[in-house]
């Protein structure tokens, strides 16, 4: 039987393919509502650093070059939800990714009298995502982000922020890889959409517009869901 967790933390899920703006919008929600953004990568790194039982188990798995199991991730999330900074609510970014993970998360939350308050799907067009992601690059000195079409430096080859001239592109930010990642996302996320739609918690938001407008729509959903 699952141990009871001493919190009634509102739990929201942010769904969306690579480049949909999940990270940007999650940061805005953190600032506006005091939510804590939780991503699988951050959870794993924090647990390993803290040396928790689940974190040490995860480290051993990762050191062996294997994928961390759903059970370990759920265990780490369970520990994290007990922390006092999560009391105002959490927004899960990138988890769950599969139907099995969604069911495991439901079980975890049910054990503490909690539930998913809203699963918010940022809806985007695949062709636009390929163009958006494959044109990204950053300043190698300060990390300022740029885009070939949407946000080039004001002076070619020179960072607007720090004047640096060393720019970097992620190796996987190319059209072929992005298209493959989008296909994988849709294949994995289809059961999630059905799962949360069946629960009545799915909210869809058109994420092709301006960032501030999308943020307003998200805020309205969060305000309703977290009450």
Kindly name the residue from 78, 80, 132, 181 that is annotated as catalytic.
Answer: 181
In the residue annotation, 204 being an active-site residue is answered as no
Q: In what order do the strands lie in the sheet with 167-168?
A: 145-147, 136-139, 167-168
Sequence-distant (≥ 6) Cβ neighbours of residue 10 within 8 angstroms: 35, 88, 89, 90, 117, 225, 226
DSSP string across 170-222: -TT-SHHHHHHHHHHHHHHHHHHHHHHHHHT-EEEEE-SS-HHHHHHHHHHHH
In the residue annotation, 136 being an active-site residue is answered as yes
Partners of residue 39 on adjacent β-strands: 93
Separation CA 70–CA 210 (nearest Å): 35
Sign of CA dihedral 134, 62, 52, 49: negative
In the residue annotation, 132 being an active-site residue is answered as no
Kindly name the residue from 27, 59, 88, 97 that is annotated as catalytic.
Answer: 97
Kindly name the residue from 22, 28, 78, 132 that is annotated as catalytic.
Answer: 22
- Pair type for strands 136-139 and 145-147: antiparallel
In the residue annotation, 27 being an active-site residue is answered as no
Kindly name the residue from 88, 136, 151, 204 that is annotated as catalytic.
Answer: 136
Separation CA 226–CA 36 (nearest Å): 13
Kindly name the residue from 82, 115, 168, 170 that is annotated as catalytic.
Answer: 170
The residues carrying an active-site annotation are 22, 97, 136, 170, 181
């Amino acid at each position: 039987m699952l141990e009871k967790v001493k919190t009634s933390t509102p739990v929201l899920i942010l769904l969306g393919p690579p480049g949909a703006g999940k990270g940007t919008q999650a940061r805005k929600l953190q600032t506006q509502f005091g939510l804590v953004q939780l991503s699988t990568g951050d959870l794993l790194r924090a647990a390993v650093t803290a040396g928790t039982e689940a974190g040490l188990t995860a480290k051993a798995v990762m050191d062996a070059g294997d994928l961390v199991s759903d059970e370990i991730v759920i265990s780490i999330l369970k520990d994290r939800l007990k922390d006092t900074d999560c009391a105002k609510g959490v927004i899960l970014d990138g988890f769950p990714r599969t139907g099995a993970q969604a069911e495991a998360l439901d079980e975890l939350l049910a054990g503490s009298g909690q539930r998913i308050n809203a699963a918010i799907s940022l809806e985007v067009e695949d062709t636009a995502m390929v163009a958006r992601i494959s044109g990204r690059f950053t300043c190698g000195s300060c990390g300022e982000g740029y885009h070939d079409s949407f946000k080039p430096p004001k002076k070619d080859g020179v960072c607007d922020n720090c004047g640096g001239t060393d720019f970097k592109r992620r190796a996987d930010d190319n059209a072929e890889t992005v298209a493959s990642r989008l296909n994988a996302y849709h294949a994995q996320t289809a059961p999630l959409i059905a799962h949360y739609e069946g629960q009545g918690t799915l909210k869809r938001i058109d994420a092709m517009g301006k960032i501030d407008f999308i943020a307003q729509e998200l805020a309205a959903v969060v305000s309703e869901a977290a009450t």
